[in-house]
Amino acid sequence: MSPAERDSSPTKSRFLFLNKLDRINPVENLMQKIVSLAKRRGFIFQSSEIYGGIEAFWDYGPLGSLLKNNIKQEWLKTFVQKREDIVLIDTPIIMHPKTWEASGHLKNFTDPLVECKNCHGRFREDHLIKKECPNCGKKDFTPSKQFNLMFKTFLGPVEDDSHIAYLRPETAQSMFTDFNLAQESMRLKLPFGIAQIGRSFRNEITTGNFIFRSREFEQAEIEYFVKPGEDEKFFEEWVDNWENFILNLGIKKENLRRYEHKKEALSHYSKRTIDIEYKYPFGWAELTGIANRTNYDLSQHSKFSGKELVYFDEETKEKYTPFVIEPSLGIDRLLLALLCDAYQEIEGGRTETTKSAKETEIVLKLNKKIAPVKVAVLPLVKNKPELVKKAKEVYQLLKPHFICQYDEVGSIGRRYRRIDEIGCPFAITVDFETLEKGDVTLRNRDTMKQERVKVEELVKAIKEKLEEE
Ligand code: ATP
């Protein structure tokens, strides 16, 4: 939905207040700890950091990219691979500019912008607390004007109005413009869905809270087309499907809640919208939304393109414009929720190290399915060449099957801590017994249980453990 329409909801204002609270009372610093861990361990970096960064753009580092990719794979598995009624498309971020006229984004995708007359800072009017300038504290602003959030660019070398194009603010519109093509080429029968994962861009006025609100982000969306009249039933079904997907990734139920948009605050296209909110360290805020977009988009594109976007029902011999249910998920917001949910600190630590047993230990209890590194291979000590050689052999054996990490630096306790901190579910220790008996220790991150497994059975054993619920 357009932020302008979303503004009047209590969720939004609650979130904004919490933004400020975040600065005063950083909720036991969880957010700062996540940001710092993300940087330190290669999950997420500030984009263009060497130039001082660029606001609201983020780089996913080596582990962050793997994590994000695993989340997307799970999404594809759940909604495309396992179902028979949803097809995937992959389309450019720039669409024909008429798209945005038809969809209503050119007119409606706006936020109210004001400028402080004293310090000239620019803010979203609805983000101001007590109508006070967050920079200088003055209360004197210019009248608000509607600011369109779409990034503008030009196609080709001529920079005039007839060459303007926009970076898409949502992936959804391609699913409407490709409706006939996908339906006919795949002979799809209602109800069916068209899915896409891709980048979207919004020139947000107020950014912040790490990757929660970025100017470039990734969305995973489904446009699920249904017969008019069946839309309400499918809407309910999709709210459940969506929530279950998030819960199955390991998010705690008590950290999720639903927020239903009030009728008067609905987007121009929406008959009903429910957000699933997550309890981020800065407060409850929208993680994802499910909307009943009716037949608005298909009708609009039919009107603007002159091409009929309708469905011919072979059973009833009727032709009609399907309704559409849209579950829309921000991958980055989900990734942030997963990091927050998985982060645990264990006072004094649970793994002894040679240095201080009193240090707090961080364990990232990420679901095995999405953990970026699945197995770590550790020789018990590094100064025994035969152990190191054997550990490297084990590492090479596992590498074709799993994302693995080899680590020989520091005490074994330290190394366990390092891999717990990145959420690696399994660790293999190659010790003196390995040389004698050909088995290794397999340690489980969560139970801390250690079992001996024959080297030749390792791949199978780990695969089975990764499949276990
Ligand atoms: P908000 O009210 O927080 O601005 P929205 O209601 O405008 O969000 P939608 O238009 O419903 O968001 O977009 C669908 C999903 O895309 C959101 O639920 C969210 O997960 C994600 N999303 C939207 N804007 C951003 C952003 N600036 N950064 C990261 N993710 C975003």
31-57 pLDDT, tens digit per residue, is 999 999 999 999 999 999 999 999 999
Place of tokens 């009107």: 303
What integer pLDDT is reported at residue 126 of this predicted model? 83
Does 328 sit in the ligand 1 pocket, CB within 6 Å? yes
| Closest ligand 1 atom to Cα of 219 | 16
| Closest ligand 1 atom to Cα of 11 | 2
User: Token digits for 61?
Assistant: 């580092």
Does 219 sit in the ligand 1 pocket, CB within 6 Å? yes
Which ranges of the chain have pLDDT less than 70? 1-28, 351-358
In the chain, the largest separation of any two C-alpha atoms, in whole Å, equals 79
Query: What residues have CB less than 8 Å from 272, skipping those under 6 apart?
Result: 232, 235, 260, 261, 266, 291, 292
CB of 108 closer than 8 Å to CB of 7? no
176-188 pLDDT, tens digit per residue, is 999 999 999 999 9
What integer pLDDT is reported at residue 207 of this predicted model? 82
For residues 393 and 409, what is the distance between their CA atoms, to the nearest angstrom?
17
Q: How far is the CA of 319 from the centre of ligand 1 (A)?
A: 34
What integer pLDDT is reported at residue 111 of this predicted model? 87
Q: Ligand 1, atom 14: nearest CA belongs to which residue? A: 328
Q: Ligand 1, atom 26: nearest CA belongs to which residue? A: 213
| Closest ligand 1 atom to Cα of 204 | 27
User: Domains in the chain, start-ordered, CATH in brackets?
Assistant: 3-99+165-339 (3.30.930.10), 349-467 (3.40.50.800)
CB of 141 closer than 8 Å to CB of 114? yes
Return phi, psi of residue 273, to 5°.
-140, 135
pTM above 0.85, yes or no: yes
Q: Ligand 1, atom 20: nearest CA belongs to which residue? A: 330
Alpha helices in 26-97 (DSSP H): 30-40, 62-76
What integer pLDDT is reported at residue 122 of this predicted model? 86
CB of 395 closer than 8 Å to CB of 377? yes
Q: How far is the CA of 186 from the centre of ligand 1 (A)?
A: 30
Place of tokens 């339906």: 183
Does 235 sit in the ligand 1 pocket, CB within 6 Å? no
Q: How far is the CA of 330 from the centre of ligand 1 (A)?
A: 6
For residues 17 and 285, what is the distance between their CA atoms, to the nearest angstrom?
11
What integer pLDDT is reported at residue 178 of this predicted model? 98
CB of 331 closer than 8 Å to CB of 207? no
| Closest ligand 1 atom to Cα of 9 | 2
| Average pLDDT along the chain | 91
